[in-house]
Amino acid sequence: MVTKGDFELTPTEAFVLGGTFLIHDLGMGLASFPNGIKELKKETIWKDTVASLLRKKYNRPIRDDDFLELDSAIERSATENVLRLLHAKHAEKLALISWKDKENKDIF
């Protein structure tokens, strides 16, 4: 799918390629965001996705108070959709992101 015909990789190249696939896929996990769901909810695409799901559910224009108490199905669906949409972009930064431990020190 990536190349036409046979394309040989050295063991080192295969290792690096496998590592890039893993990092790319790690971007799909909520744990790859240091501040978890709070960080995801700050994204414009989160709000747009929730609005789209609410509009589909209620079949009417969305009001501000619709966002105040989301049911778990809407929140779960929005989280899954946004992670899927952002994962490739997020994976580019993943190797450089740090998380905080209990003593507020950076961990990688």
Asked whether residue 23 is domain-assigned, the answer is: no
Strands 99-100 and 106-107, sheet pairing: antiparallel
pLDDT digits (tens, 9 = 90+) for 8-61: 889 999 999 999 888 888 888 888 888 889 999 999 999 999 999 999 999 999
Helix axes 11-26, 72-94, angle to 10 degrees: 150
With a cut of 80, say whether residue 1 has pLDDT above it: no
Write out the two tokens for 43: 């994204």
Domain containing 51 equals 34-91
Asked whether residue 24 is domain-assigned, the answer is: no
Asked whether residue 38 is domain-assigned, the answer is: yes
Asked whether residue 87 is domain-assigned, the answer is: yes
Query: How many domains are contained in the chain?
Result: 1
Q: Quick one: which of 89, 84, 77, 22 has its CA closest to 50?
A: 77
